[in-house]
Structure 1
Amino acid sequence: MMLIARDKTSPLSRLKGSKAGLKILDGAVSAAPQNGRIRLLRGRAAYRLPEKYFHRAHTVIEDYTFLIDQKMHEEGFLETNNYLKLIYELGEVYCRIGRNQAAIMCWRRLTNETQDSDFLHLLKLKLKSLEGKPAVEHIPNTESPTSILIRKAVRAAGSELLSWAEQQKKEETPRNRLNQKGRR
């Protein structure tokens, strides 16, 4: 569902499809919380969603931490590159939500686990970008209160218009049938 939603042209269709897909993945994790494949699927899907709209950073943290802590790499579940990618992305998520110290810990851990010079250079840049920042910082919502109110008002008006249009469609269908029968 989420892959289909990704290719939709309407933002509302994307949102609805993504939320439906997340609901299914959440149900799957609830049904099998120890299943690494489901955790990996949900974590990767949530990682790619914008935090501003979906607020799924904690889902990513939960799933990635589970996979890393369960030593899925050692069991052969994750290849080395995928395992390192999980740790890197976990650092990215921590950074997105202002948990700088946790991000630093992830990226420092990676500097000890890789020999790739390009990757090490990237990690040094990431670590340098967090120098001097507090361990935890509040990441403000970039929307102004006015834009939030306007967005909510537009959403409410849109929902009402959709409900009205659906009601009109339901009422019109029986009239069309009666008109067609009367013409015959």
Structure 2
Amino acid sequence: MRYTVQLTQGQTCGQIPVRNRQGEIVYILKGNLNEFNQPIILTDINHNEIGRLYLDSNHILASYSVDVVNHSLVKVKKLNSRFTNLFYITRLNYWVEGSLKQGRYSFYSGIKKVANVYSLVTDTGLTWTCDISRPEDVPFIILISLLFTQWHTKPLLLPTFNFQNRISAPS
């Protein structure tokens, strides 16, 4: 199953649609992408909550939790050393390999790949796509991928220029 999320500058706060392979909106992400301490909520198209991502603790290392309806709480742990940058998702026993900064990473259960995520910068903004193999993983992968996007993507604010052809007559 493929899901696509398009992040544009105008959508940093509010609702962001999650589209399936056919381009239909199947989920909605709600929240403020610029605030790490605000929850991000995933709903269906009828605005029924499916899950939420929130900051669990903000000590030296931040810890995030993913709370999906009818599932036990899942935490995102970051094991950081100078030799490796490894992420582990508790309860699901998933680990993440790849480059978050380059926008290409995969979720694994043991040696089996369960999802691929890749980002692409287009003329309308940042777009990331998730290829998820199991339907029960969809809310987790979407919310965790959004968290990784928050960690490694800064909002791009470009100035607007008002170009006017001003031809002044010689005086």
Q: Give the alignment's TM-score, normalised by structure 2.
A: 0.23
Name the structure, 1 or 2, with higher relative contact order (CA <8 Å, separation 6+).
2
